[in-house]
Structure 1
Amino acid sequence: MATAVLVLATVTTGLMAGLYLAFSVAVMPALARVDDTTFVRVMQRINDAIQNPLFGLVFVGALIAGGAAVWWHLDRGDVRWWVLAGAAGYAVTVVSTVAANIPLNNRLDRAGPVDRLADARAVRRDFERPWVRWHTLRTLVCVLAFGCLCVALSVA
């Protein structure tokens, strides 16, 4: 059971790391090249689309599986530190998402439909730089968390 829980934590954390990395290396650089109206419209649609059961299952599942993996590996020597580091790292990504990225997403959505915005450039300016900064942090931490869980699997 301990190995199965660790595999689940590793897979779900890896899926989140991959999603975050895809945004960092493809989605946000592509959106950086579009006009302000298109940027706001696409990010609002992404914010809406990502709120789905599968994303929620993986996002929350990685946190739960990581906590369970820590519990199952508390008395398992050196592997416990890798599991703890991986689970704690993923928890940091959840906290940064809830504390920074989601409030920025909500503020972007509250700006209203893009065709009714008085100043799409100001809306984008207030959103893009802080969102990317926080997103870069959660991407790096999540990739490191995934790496720690991979090491834990190899040691277990």
Structure 2
Amino acid sequence: METARLASLIAATITMGLVSGLFYGFSVAVMPALRGAGDRTVVEVMQRVNVSILNGWFLLGYLGALVFTGLAVGLHLADGARAALWPLVGAFVAYVLAMTVTGLVNIPLNNALAQAGPPDRLADPAAVRRSFEGPWVRANVWRTLLCTLATGLLAWTSVVTAA
């Protein structure tokens, strides 16, 4: 049981770190870089990103963070490792909240951007950009903060269980 607990915690920390890093990268590099780009360019780039990100590697991290953190909670609970339980539950809750933000804000905005059509055929690319960019960036900051919190709590769990 100890090996399974440790393996699930390591897998949760790695996958959560990957998702945190992805959202952080958008917050500090991708979206600031696009801020200076033209409206059609922003629409086109984000439409392409929203299609290309849906791949197995992304899903391994995104869904893996949920599954492995949940597994770690369950295994620590079953094994009576109570000291590690609160940071694990906190990490799980923080990630579920991040996924909720994604599902309620980012995904609908991505879908609306896709439905806007090809960037070269948009009558008002500035309006499409305005309806997408600000809300998406704000939601991504929340996802980044929540996932970073979850990663920190998972790291803290490693400290607590090692003691």
**When the two structures are aligned, how many residues end up with a matched partner?**
156
Query: What's the TM-score, normalizing by structure 2?
Result: 0.94
Residue matched to 1:119? 124
Q: What is the CA distance between 1:99 and its match in structure 2? A: 1.3
Residue matched to 1:97? 102
Residue matched to 1:66? 69
Residue matched to 1:11? 14
- Cα deviation code 1:10-61 (max 9, x no counterpart): 1100100001100000000000111111111101011111011111121111
**Alpha-carbon distance between aligned partners in 2 of 1:141 and 1:29, rounded to the nearest angstrom:** 20
**Alpha-carbon distance between aligned partners in 1 of 2:97 and 2:11, rounded to the nearest angstrom:** 18
- Tell me the C-alpha RMSD between the 2 structures: 0.7
Please tell me whether residue 155 in structure 1 is matched to residue 152 in structure 2.
no
Q: What is the CA distance between 1:132 and its match in structure 2? A: 0.6
| Gap regions ≥5 residues in structure 2 | none
Query: What's the TM-score, normalizing by structure 1?
Result: 0.98
**Which amino acid counterpart does residue 127 of structure 1 have in structure 2?**
F
Runs of 4+ in 1 over 3 A off after TM superposition: none
**Alpha-carbon distance between aligned partners in 2 of 1:63 and 1:29, rounded to the nearest angstrom:** 28
Please tell me whether residue 84 in structure 1 is matched to residue 89 in structure 2.
yes
**Alpha-carbon distance between aligned partners in 1 of 2:147 and 2:21, rounded to the nearest angstrom:** 9
Please tell me whether residue 42 in structure 1 is matched to residue 63 in structure 2.
no
SS of residue in 1 equivalent to 2:82:
coil
**Alpha-carbon distance between aligned partners in 1 of 2:35 and 2:72, rounded to the nearest angstrom:** 38
Q: Percent identity?
A: 48
**Alpha-carbon distance between aligned partners in 1 of 2:26 and 2:159, rounded to the nearest angstrom:** 28
